[in-house]
């Protein structure tokens, strides 16, 4: 590749051709501020519409200032990133953006994590000289996401995520000029759109225009109610990211501190969604083996590949986009929704309390979980199996609001029996983890042999679509993995067109899996953060004494005590679900 | 004495645009025949470059160079696009050419296809021009029948065909990249250049975009030679330019004059002077992207570079003449109103900045402006020009800057004296009853929509300034000229 | 948003339009033009069908519809009145003419009279600057319109 030499603020930079000025400047220690620009390196995710104009720089010989994010280097270019012309322009552009932005920082959910706010700080804006009309739109609250697009700055990141990465198509730029904004069709509520609540729009929104529905008040109230037994479950990806909210380095595992914090918050039982993840493997693994065995015996009706079903964003996606294929995914509920009935139908009975007096709270890296726990099929007489789902970010707020000094907390252990888990369940939180966990169990159950090498490294990584063949003692099992719904769509289209060679496919809606979920601490486009979270989970897995779900003693006890056998009658009733056709339009039903 | 030279408009009103025979009888398709049978693409491009023809759509980019760039890019498919999304309010030359001489455009596009290596042409035309569309369709059918369009043109083995794409009412689609996105079925939002369409355009393929008037010049240049074309005009602006004369001028309509003709010649000799013998105040060229020329510019030769030096631009050639009754602050506000409506909303300086400019101008025209507001107008305008993504935003503050430059006195009057000398800005006016003339007929009071006028029959009436909304109904109705504007 | 039931026949017509453009998503604007000329406007229902036929999201179709001023989601009056607000018309008093239309029809720009007879819109230059100010009623062009001529124009269509 050709190397280009150019001068930026008097410093000589040498970079490969087709490098942007923004990246070239970074190589010589110049950090040009950006707002609309967004990139998740190594994941093929980039947004550079060149719209905000905050990153403009002067290129000698050009009539106008050029956006650094969208201008390619050229030999001999002379670039100035902070002369008076540039500084004045950059500040004025920011003042303009602020003049069309509500000054609600004190009460904004995004305060502290807002990129517009920190930009105003960085550039030292102390007043907004240009005042005028501000754009006003209807506020929209869906089961998981709040749209307050008065705060939209038209960076288009959400639109890019929703369309280019996730191929969901719920959001699009609408209207023109001053009234232009990103919105669902007909500016209707998100709830009426094909939104999957994956929350990726929220995770990239630089301002408070897109945030999660906050359920922490409900949880505080439940904890204060002496009549309620409040049980909490925590998803695997939370422990790998929660520390970031308290200034700990990305990738720090805070499992023990998190448990201690939850106990101090007043939860009666601190359990682990990982336990339910082990249960998921038992059910889903059994279902896989059942379909596989029938298939090998020549059963033509059996649906293969089997698709994982633990990701609620993904479930919403195929219900909206591929309803005709809704027989293919595993019927196993997600770990969150498996935990619910076990808590309320098994554990509550053990405690001798009515399920209505038990409140189950989940801590999730996810926003779709908020919608999932509100689904009608996950309720008994109107009582949801899981009452409230909080995001990792909401938990962090809750801890801070309760005067808990997180970093000085001791390390606590989960309660039993629903707190014991294996290494297999921990890696549910990263792309490839579910299928790896399933392989560990399915292999032993199918072959009857002990698995010598527990790590399936071939299933790990961040490539968008991965595939591997696992040798089940002579039987080659073809595994597919996709994270990001756009990648999932490709695999689904292959299945629909009869081109798929896979026996089993794992799909996660969010890039990176749950560690990159819509409810996680904001990564601000740093893909290293996501990678460090993944390695934290693999670290926790490696350190666990038991690393296969079917060896979890409490799981075995649960089957013996209560459930019977995997995919048996009771577990079918409590742990499996069915899917709906949600493809109908709002106005046209066909 | 100013002369009109008709090159782009050579056939308009002369031939029957629905008869290809008429076009052919006036050397039509002769250039195409010459090009296809006698000249290499490089030779044609060379002729064009030497002729000095520059893009007539606004920017003035050398046409031959553009063709050459498109030619040099390697690609399996290239496109020729004719930009007929004439959206400049007050300009209608493209419409006249398409309606009056559609074959000229088809012929030039085909020549362009030959030169650039494109086999497909697209005409992006405003849906509001149904007659032009009909004429084009008729012309395309005829030229196909005669083997001048389609496969194996003039038996030379060269294939080229043309399709029509419709605009849908978005001024920004005059910008090449926005136009291309619109043709692809998307929102007409521009993208950062480079890449230029000549390298990466429609469907990511090299695309040569020229406007109607530019194309209309091409066949004549081939037929009469570049030397002839280059002999017309000024040093850096060759040939002629079509202007749409409008506003307070006696002869409105299209004129085509050599580059370098002065504004005075255009207005007074061709345009017949100002209506009603009033005084010339300003002429706006370049529409909402341009600026105003004043008395001091009357003898400046009009060409691309002089107009830019004067703070305006050629644009597509609208020329609106204003007289003493036009308020220049209100004119700037009018143009900004247009820009605010037509901004695509993609980049912040254009989306928000123009809105703020408009609001500042509104404040001033309502009599609430401060001197600081004028400074804000200046700074904001400079930044919007400097930072906007596309040509629309990069030029939208021109009307503000140029009226401030040339008519700062009027701004000061609005701000300091709360006075609009042209009596356009209503908020600063007071409707007053002249007691000597009022006979107390009550007609004004009965017609006032807000009951702001009081007075007994046969008594002098009084207008309540608090209530008055300055609609002017009283003044219109008064038969005794007893109501005046202060 | 009122729910409009389209007849099967109309839906079929619309699908045929999409098919005529090969259900190609790049042809969206052409399809919308045809659909609007067929139905007079582009209600939400129509956009949903088009999205499905062209395999694009409804939000995308709506994003395009709301970008271009030519497309409308409101049914127009039987006699759509359009006032040109191009520069030439503006300097010759088009704004006053517009005010007069608003006053007499008792509607704002973008609205339709309750009897469905007139709708009012503004447009930019129609290329008839010589006749400024220009008013269009349907396809008919009225030139040099003065505010006191507005009543006569309306009366022409009010019989």
Q: Tens digit of pLDDT for each residue in A350-368?
A: 999 999 999 999 999 999 9
**Average pLDDT of A484-504?**
94
Check: CB of residue B214 under 8 Å from CB of residue B64: no
Check: CB of residue B256 under 8 Å from CB of residue B242: yes
Percent of chain B clearing pLDDT 70 (strictly above): 100
Check: CB of residue B361 under 8 Å from CB of residue B404: no
- pLDDT given for residue B127 in this prediction: 86
**Average pLDDT of C29-49?**
93
- B455-466 pLDDT per residue, tens: 999 999 999 988
Cα B89 to chain center, whole Å?
6
**Average pLDDT of A512-537?**
96
Q: Which residues in chain A touch residue C67, judged by CB atoms under 8 angstroms apart?
A: 174-176
Q: How confident is the model at residue A383 (pLDDT cuts 50, 70, 90)?
A: very high
**Average pLDDT of C70-79?**
89
- A32-87 pLDDT per residue, tens: 999 999 999 888 899 999 999 999 999 999 999 999 999 999 999 999 999 999 99
Q: How far is B84 from chain C (nearest CA, A)?
A: 13
- pLDDT given for residue A518 in this prediction: 97
pLDDT at C140 over 50: yes
pLDDT at B314 over 50: yes
- Distance between CA atoms of residues C64 and A586, nearest Å: 19
pLDDT at C74 over 90: no
Percent of chain A clearing pLDDT 90 (strictly above): 95
Whether B88 and C125 lie within 8 Å, measured CB to CB: yes
Higher pLDDT, C93 or B64: B64
**What residues does each domain of chain C span?**
8-65, 79-156
Specify the range with the lowest mean pLDDT, choosing from A1-10, A149-158, C132-141: C132-141
**Residue from A17, A47, A51, A58 to probe the interface with B (highest B Cβ count within 10 Å):** A51
Percent of chain A clearing pLDDT 70 (strictly above): 100
Whether C88 and B252 lie within 8 Å, measured CB to CB: yes
CA angle B186–B188–B194, rounded 5-degree value = 105
Q: Which residues in chain A touch residue B352, judged by CB atoms under 8 angstroms apart?
A: 96-97, 99-100, 130, 178
Reported residue count of chain A is 590
Whether A587 and C3 lie within 8 Å, measured CB to CB: yes
**Average pLDDT of A322-330?**
94
Whether B386 and A154 lie within 8 Å, measured CB to CB: no
Q: Neighbouring chains of B at 3+ CB pairs within 8 Å?
A: A, C
The closest CB to that of C33, out of B168, B253, B284, belongs to: B168
* CA-based nearest residue to B261, from B277, B237, B287: B237
pLDDT at C2 over 50: no
Check: CB of residue A395 under 8 Å from CB of residue A265: no
- pLDDT given for residue B1 in this prediction: 44
- Distance between CA atoms of residues A368 and B267, nearest Å: 67
Q: Is A403 on the interface with B (CB under 8 A)?
A: no
Rounded to the nearest integer, the mean pLDDT of chain A is: 96
- pLDDT given for residue B296 in this prediction: 94
Active-site positions of A read 284, 287, 310, 330, 369, 372, 377, 514
Percent of chain C clearing pLDDT 90 (strictly above): 58
- B4-29 pLDDT per residue, tens: 999 999 999 999 999 999 999 999 99
Domain A3-82 class in CATH? alpha beta
Exposure on the CB side of residue A300, measured as CA atoms within 13 A: 0
For residue A52, give every residue at least 6 positions away whose Cβ sits within 8 Å of its Cβ, in sequence order, or none: A34, A35, A36, A37, A93, A97, A153, A154, A155, B347, B348
Q: How confident is the model at residue B485 (pLDDT cuts 50, 70, 90)?
A: confident
pLDDT at A211 over 50: yes
- pLDDT given for residue B109 in this prediction: 98
- pLDDT given for residue A589 in this prediction: 55
Q: Dig out the tokens for B389 from the structure.
A: 């993504």
pLDDT at B37 over 90: yes
Q: How confident is the model at residue B154 (pLDDT cuts 50, 70, 90)?
A: very high
* CA-based nearest residue to A72, from A11, A24, A30, A36: A24
For residue A480, give every residue at least 6 positions away whose Cβ sits within 8 Å of its Cβ, in sequence order, or none: A305, A465, A466, A467, A491, A500, A502, A504, A505, A506
The fold of the A98-213 domain, in CATH, is Alpha-Beta Plaits (3.30.70)
Specify the range with the lowest mean pLDDT, choosing from A101-110, A245-254, A567-576, B313-322: B313-322
- Distance between CA atoms of residues A239 and A363, nearest Å: 10
Q: Neighbouring chains of A at 3+ CB pairs within 8 Å?
A: B, C
- pLDDT given for residue A585 in this prediction: 82
Rounded to the nearest integer, the mean pLDDT of chain B is: 94
Residue C77 DSSP one-character state: P
C72-75 long-range Cβ contacts below 8 angstroms, 24+ apart:
C72/C36, C72/C41, C72/C42, C73/C41, C73/C42, C73/C43, C73/C44, C74/C41, C74/C110, C74/C111, C74/C112, C74/C119, C75/C40, C75/C41, C75/C112, C75/C116
Q: How far is B397 from chain A (nearest CA, A)?
A: 14
pLDDT at B148 over 70: yes
- pLDDT given for residue C3 in this prediction: 52
Whether C63 and A587 lie within 8 Å, measured CB to CB: no
Domains parsed from chain B with CATH numbers:
20-230 (3.40.50.11540), 240-323 (3.10.20.600), 328-417 (1.20.1440.230), 430-485 (3.30.70.20)
Whether C69 and B169 lie within 8 Å, measured CB to CB: yes
**Average pLDDT of A574-588?**
91
- pLDDT given for residue A452 in this prediction: 87
Q: Dig out the tokens for A227 from the structure.
A: 């009549």
Q: Which residues in chain A touch residue B359, judged by CB atoms under 8 angstroms apart?
A: 132-133
Residue B352 DSSP one-character state: I
- Beta-bridged to residue A173, according to DSSP, are A182
Q: How confident is the model at residue B92 (pLDDT cuts 50, 70, 90)?
A: confident
If one counts every other C-beta atom within 10 angstroms of the C-beta of residue A124, the result is 7
- Beta-bridged to residue B282, according to DSSP, are B294, B322
Write out the DSSP string of A117-166: HHHHHHTT---------------EE-SSEEE-GGG-----HHHHIIIIIS
- Distance between CA atoms of residues B195 and B202, nearest Å: 12
CATH entry, A217-575, from 3.40.50.1780, 3.40.50.300, 3.40.50.1370, 3.90.550.10: 3.40.50.1780
Cα A559 to chain center, whole Å?
31
The fold of the C79-156 domain, in CATH, is Glutaredoxin (3.40.30)
ipTM value of the model?
0.94
- Distance between CA atoms of residues A81 and A33, nearest Å: 10
CA dihedral (A24, A27, A31, A34) positive or negative: positive
Q: How confident is the model at residue C1 (pLDDT cuts 50, 70, 90)?
A: very low
- Distance between CA atoms of residues B465 and B429, nearest Å: 10
């Amino acid at each position: 590749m050709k190397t280009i030499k150019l001068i930026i603020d008097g410093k000589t930079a040498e970079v490969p051709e087709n490098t942007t000025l923004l990246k070239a400047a970074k190589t010589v220690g110049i950090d040009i501020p950006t707002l609309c620009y967004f990139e998740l390196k190594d994941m093929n995710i980039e947004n550079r519409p060149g719209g905000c104009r905050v990153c403009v720089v002067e290129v000698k010989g050009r009539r106008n200032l050029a956006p650094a994010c969208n201008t390619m280097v050229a030999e001999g270019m002379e670039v100035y990133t902070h002369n008076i012309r540039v500084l004045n322009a950059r500040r004025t552009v920011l003042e303009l953006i602020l003049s069309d932005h509500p000054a609600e920082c004190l009460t904004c959910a995004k305060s502290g994590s807002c990129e517009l706010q920190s930009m105003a700080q960085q550039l030292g804006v102390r007043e907004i000289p240009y005042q005028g009309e501000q754009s006003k739109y209807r506020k929209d609250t869906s089961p998981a996401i709040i749209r307050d697009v008065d705060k939209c700055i038209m960076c288009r990141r959400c639109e890019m995520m929703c369309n280019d990465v996730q191929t969901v198509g719920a959001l699009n730029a609408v209207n023109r000029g001053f009234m232009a904004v990103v919105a669902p069709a007909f500016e209707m509520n998100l709830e009426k759109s094909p939104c999957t609540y994956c929350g990726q729009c929220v995770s990239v929104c630089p301002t408070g225009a897109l945030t999660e529905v906050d359920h922490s008040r409900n949880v505080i109230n439940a904890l204060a109610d002496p009549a309620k037994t409040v049980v909490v479950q925590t998803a695997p990806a939370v422990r790998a990211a929660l520390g970031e909210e308290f200034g700990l380095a990305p990738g720090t595992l805070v499992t023990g501190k998190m448990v201690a914090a939850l106990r101090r918050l007043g939860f009666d039982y601190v359990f682990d969604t990982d336990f339910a993840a082990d249960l998921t493997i038992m059910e889903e693994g059994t279902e896989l083996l059942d379909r596989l065995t029938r298939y090998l015996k020549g059963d033509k009706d059996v649906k293969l590949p089997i698709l994982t079903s633990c990701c609620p964003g993904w479930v919403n996606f195929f219900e909206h986009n591929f309803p005709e294929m809704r027989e293919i995914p595993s019927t196993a509920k997600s770990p969150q929704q498996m935990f619910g009935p076990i808590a309320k139908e098994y554990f509550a009975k053990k405690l001798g309390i009515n399920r209505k007096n038990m409140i189950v709270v989940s801590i999730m890296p996810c926003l779709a979980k908020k919608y999932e726990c509100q689904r009608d099929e996950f309720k008994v007489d109107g009582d949801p199996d899981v009452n409230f789902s909080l995001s990792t970010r909401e938990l962090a707020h809750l801890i801070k609001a309760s005067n808990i000094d997180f970093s000085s907390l001791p390390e606590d252990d989960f309660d039993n029996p629903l707190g014991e888990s294996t290494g297999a369940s921990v890696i549910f939180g990263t792309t490839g983890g579910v299928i790896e966990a399933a392989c560990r169990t399915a292999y032993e159950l199918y072959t009857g042999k002990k698995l010598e090498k527990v790590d399936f490294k071939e299933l790990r990584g961040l490539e968008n679509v991965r595939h591997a063949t696992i040798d089940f003692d002579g039987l080659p099992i073809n595994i597919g993995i996709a994270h990001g719904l756009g990648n999932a769509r490709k695999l689904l289209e292959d299945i629909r067109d009869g081109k798929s060679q896979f026996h089993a496919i794992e799909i996660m809606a969010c890039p990176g899996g749950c560690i990159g979920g819509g409810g996680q601490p904001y990564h601000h486009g740093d893909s290293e953060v996501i990678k460090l979270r993944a390695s934290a989970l693999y670290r926790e897995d490696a350190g666990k004494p038991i690393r296969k779900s079917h060896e979890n003693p409490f799981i075995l006890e649960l089957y013996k005590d209560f459930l019977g056998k995997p995919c048996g009658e009771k577990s079918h009733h409590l742990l499996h679900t069915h899917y709906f056709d949600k493809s109908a339009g709002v106005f046209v039903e066909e | 004495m100013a002369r009109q030279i008709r090159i782009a408009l050579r056939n308009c009103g002369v031939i029957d645009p629905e008869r290809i025979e008429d076009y052919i009888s006036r050397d039509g398709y002769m250039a195409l025949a010459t090009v296809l049978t006698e000249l290499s693409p490089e030779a044609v491009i060379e002729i064009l470059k030497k002729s000095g023809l520059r893009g007539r759509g606004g920017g003035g980019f050398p046409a031959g160079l553009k063709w050459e760039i498109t030619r040099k890019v390697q690609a399996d498919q290239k496109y020729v696009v004719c930009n007929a999304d004439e959206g400049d309010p007050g300009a209608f030359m493209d419409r006249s050419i398409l309606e009056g001489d559609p074959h000229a455009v088809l012929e030039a596009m085909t020549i362009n296809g030959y030169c650039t290596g494109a086999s497909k042409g697209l005409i992006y035309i405003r849906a509001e021009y149904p007659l032009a569309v009909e004429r084009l369709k008729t012309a395309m059918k005829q030229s196909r029948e005669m083997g001048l369009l389609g496969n194996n043109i003039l038996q030379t083995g060269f294939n080229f065909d043309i399709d029509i794409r419709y605009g849908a009412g978005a001024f920004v689609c005059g910008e090449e990249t926005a136009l291309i996105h619109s043709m692809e079925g998307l929102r007409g939002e521009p993208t950062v250049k480079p890449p230029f369409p000549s390298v990466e355009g429609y469907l990511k393929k090299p695309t040569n975009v020229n406007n109607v008037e530019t194309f209309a010049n091409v066949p004549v240049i081939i037929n009469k030679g570049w030397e002839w074309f280059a002999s017309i005009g000024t040093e850096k602006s060759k040939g002629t330019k079509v202007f749409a004369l409008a506003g307070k001028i006696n002869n409105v309509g299209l004129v085509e004059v050599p580059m370098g003709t002065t504004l005075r010649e255009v207005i007074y000799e061709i345009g017949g002077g100002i209506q009603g013998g009033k005084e010339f105040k300003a002429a706006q060229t370049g529409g909402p992207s341009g600026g105003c020329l004043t008395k001091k510019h009357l003898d400046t030769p009009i060409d691309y570079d002089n107009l830019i030096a004067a703070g305006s631009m050629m644009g597509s050639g609208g020329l609106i003449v204003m007289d003493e009754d036009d308020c220049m602050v209100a004119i700037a506000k009018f143009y900004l109103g247009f820009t605010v409506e037509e901004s695509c909303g993609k980049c912040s300086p254009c989306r928000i900045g123009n809105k703020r400019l408009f609001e500042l101008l509104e404040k001033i025209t309502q009599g609430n402006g401060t001197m600081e507001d004028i400074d804000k107008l200046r700074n904001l305008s400079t930044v919007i020009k400097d930072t906007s993504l596309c040509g629309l935003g990069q030029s939208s503050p021109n009307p503000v800057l140029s009226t401030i430059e040339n008519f700062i006195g009027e701004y000061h009057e609005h701000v300091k004296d709360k006075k609009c000398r042209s009596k356009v800005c209503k908020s600063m006016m007071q409707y007053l009853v002249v007691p000597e003339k009022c006979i107390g007929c009550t007609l004004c009071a009965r017609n006032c929509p807000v009951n702001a006028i009081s007075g007994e029959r046969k008594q002098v009436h009084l207008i309540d300034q608090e209530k008055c909304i300055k609609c002017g109904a009283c003044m219109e109705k008064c038969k005794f000229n007893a109501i005046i504007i202060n | 948003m009122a729910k409009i039931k389209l007849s099967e026949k109309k839906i079929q017509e619309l699908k045929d339009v999409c098919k005529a453009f090969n259900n190609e998503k790049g042809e969206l604007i052409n399809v919308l033009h045809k659909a609007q000329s067929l139905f007079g406007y582009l209600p939400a229902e129509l956009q949903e069908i088009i999205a499905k036929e062209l395999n694009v999201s409804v939000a995308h179709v709506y994003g395009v519809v709301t970008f271009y001023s030519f497309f409308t989601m409101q049914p127009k009056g039987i006699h759509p009145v359009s006032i040109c607000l191009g520069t030439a018309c503006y300097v010759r008093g088009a704004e006053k003419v517009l005010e007069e239309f608003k006053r007499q029809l008792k509607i704002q720009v973008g609205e339709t009279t309750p009897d469905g007879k007139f709708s009012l819109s503004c447009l930019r230059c129609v290329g008839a600057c010589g006749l400024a100010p220009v008013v269009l009623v349907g396809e008919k062009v009225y030139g040099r319109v003065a505010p006191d001529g507005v009543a006569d124009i309306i009366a022409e269509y009010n019989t």
